[in-house]
């Protein structure tokens, strides 16, 4: 089938129009959506009206939706749903991640077998702020000099969550440059939120190299910025992107449903 795809004006991201996700997709539709994800890394489906069961079914086309490692209240219809929200009821948060800025990261990179796809569905959005930005880590790698690519070939970096209890006992170490298992393309796999240091070099060299990589990767032509609308569903591939969220006023409500697919292998160079 032919999808109505509108690419963004950067190297990453596209919108798929006129594909309702409240109904099951046939195998041809599933294959077309999967190809679009691999081609564009971030796909927006605007104006959807779906249930939690619809979201889990859609997620399962591309892997297995599993409960998040982070504990939440028992306030969801399905345990595979992870609620991202700043809203409080009876003084208790109904979800996680609040209203503050979240700096660039790849979901679950602090695990030995981290996230592949993440899916976010907007239920309520604030009047201002809360935009999400995705960085094209394919293009960032491709844009490096040959000298820098050669320097990064064998380097690995340690990733750690800021909440210590979410980290595995042995810190997760991943290649600085990873190869996507489906596309075969290479991508940078470091981000300022969760990457702590590069192994085998001095602290000063690690800090300098990571700073240079972030400055390069976050050039405007590599970043897609999404202003959310209610009903937007966004699929993104953590193996070749990193993302950040703008802060927003805490008195304004933001509620998202999220699902995630975990990897069953560690990233490879």
Residue-wise pLDDT tens digits, 85-117:
999 998 889 999 999 999 999 999 999 999 899
Q: Please, which pLDDT band fits residue 204 given cuts at 50, 70 and 90?
A: very high
Tens-digit pLDDT profile for residues 16-71: 999 999 999 999 999 999 999 999 999 999 999 999 999 999 999 999 998 877 76
Q: Would you state the torsion angle of the CA atoms of residues 196, 138, 132, 75, taken in this order, to the nearest 10 degrees?
A: -70
Q: Please, which pLDDT band fits residue 217 given cuts at 50, 70 and 90?
A: very high
Distance from C-alpha of 38 to C-alpha of 181, rounded to nearest angstrom: 11
Tens-digit pLDDT profile for residues 227-254: 999 999 999 999 999 999 999 999 999 9
Structure tokens at 50: 């779906």
Nearest to 33 by CA among 138, 117, 121: 117
Q: What is the pLDDT of residue 110?
A: 95
Tens-digit pLDDT profile for residues 2-11: 899 999 999 9
Q: What is the pLDDT of residue 265?
A: 83
Distance from C-alpha of 73 to C-alpha of 215, rounded to nearest angstrom: 38
Region of 41 on the Ramachandran plot (φ > 0 left; ψ -120 to 50 alpha; else beta): left
* Residue whose entry in the numeric block shows the structure tokens 């070749």: 240
Q: Which residues pair with 136 in a beta bridge?
A: 241
Q: Is 226 exposed, middle or buried (0-12, 13-18, 19+ CB in 10 A)?
A: buried
Distance from C-alpha of 224 to C-alpha of 7, rounded to nearest angstrom: 10
- Which residues, 6 or more positions from 215, have their beta carbon under 8 angstroms from its beta carbon? none
Fold (topology level) of 1-269? Double-stranded beta-helix (3.60.130)
Nearest to 95 by CA among 86, 107, 105: 86
The answer on pLDDT for 255 being more than 90 is yes
Q: What is the largest CA-CA distance in the chain?
A: 56
Structure tokens at 267: 């990233």
Distances (CA, A) of 98 to 60, 84, 93: 27, 8, 8
Region of 116 on the Ramachandran plot (φ > 0 left; ψ -120 to 50 alpha; else beta): alpha
The answer on pLDDT for 213 being more than 80 is yes
Collapsed DSSP state (helix, strand, coil) of residue 245: strand
Please provide the average confidence, as pLDDT, over all residues in the chain: 95
Q: For the chain, report the end-to-end CA distance as a whole number of angstroms.
A: 34
Q: What is the pLDDT of residue 173?
A: 97
Collapsed DSSP state (helix, strand, coil) of residue 77: coil
Q: 145 or 67, which is more confident? A: 145
Residue 63: CA atoms inside 13 Å, Cβ hemisphere, count? 17
Q: What is the pLDDT of residue 115?
A: 86
Residue 40: CA atoms inside 13 Å, Cβ hemisphere, count? 22
Q: What is the pLDDT of residue 73?
A: 67
So where are the chain's domains? 1-269
The answer on pLDDT for 72 being more than 80 is no
- Residues 124/84, Cβ–Cβ less than 8 Å: no
Does the pTM surpass 0.75? The reply is yes
Q: What is the pLDDT of residue 263?
A: 77
């Amino acid at each position: 089938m032919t999808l109505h795809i509108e690419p963004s004006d950067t190297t990453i991201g596209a919108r798929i129009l006129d594909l309702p996700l409240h109904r099951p997709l046939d195998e041809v539709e599933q294959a077309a959506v999967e190809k679009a994800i691999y081609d564009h890394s971030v796909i927006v489906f605007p104006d959807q009206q779906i249930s939690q069961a619809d979201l889990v079914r859609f997620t399962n086309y591309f892997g297995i939706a599993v409960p998040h490692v982070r504990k939440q209240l028992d306030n969801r219809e399905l345990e595979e749903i992870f609620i991202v929200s700043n809203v409080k009821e009876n003084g208790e948060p109904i979800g996680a991640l609040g209203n503050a800025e979240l700096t660039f990261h790849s979901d679950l990179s602090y695990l030995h077998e981290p996230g592949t796809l993440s899916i976010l569905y907007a239920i309520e959005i604030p009047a201002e702020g809360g935009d999400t930005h995705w960085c094209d880590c394919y293009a960032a790698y491709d844009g490096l000099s040959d000298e820098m690519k050669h320097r990064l070939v064998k380097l690995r970096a340690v990733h750690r969550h800021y909440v210590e209890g979410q980290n595995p006992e042995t810190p997760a170490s991943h290649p600085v440059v990873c190869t996507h298992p489906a596309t075969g393309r290479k991508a940078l796999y470091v981000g300022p939120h969760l990457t702590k240091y590069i192994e085998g070099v001095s602290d000063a060299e690690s800090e300098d190299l990571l700073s240079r990589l972030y400055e390069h990767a976050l050039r405007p032509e590599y970043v897609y910025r999404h202003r959310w609308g209610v009903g937007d569903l966004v699929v993104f591939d953590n193996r070749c992107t990193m993302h950040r969220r703008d802060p927003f006023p805490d008195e304004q409500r933001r509620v998202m449903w999220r699902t995630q697919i975990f990897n069953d292998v560690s990233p490879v160079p």
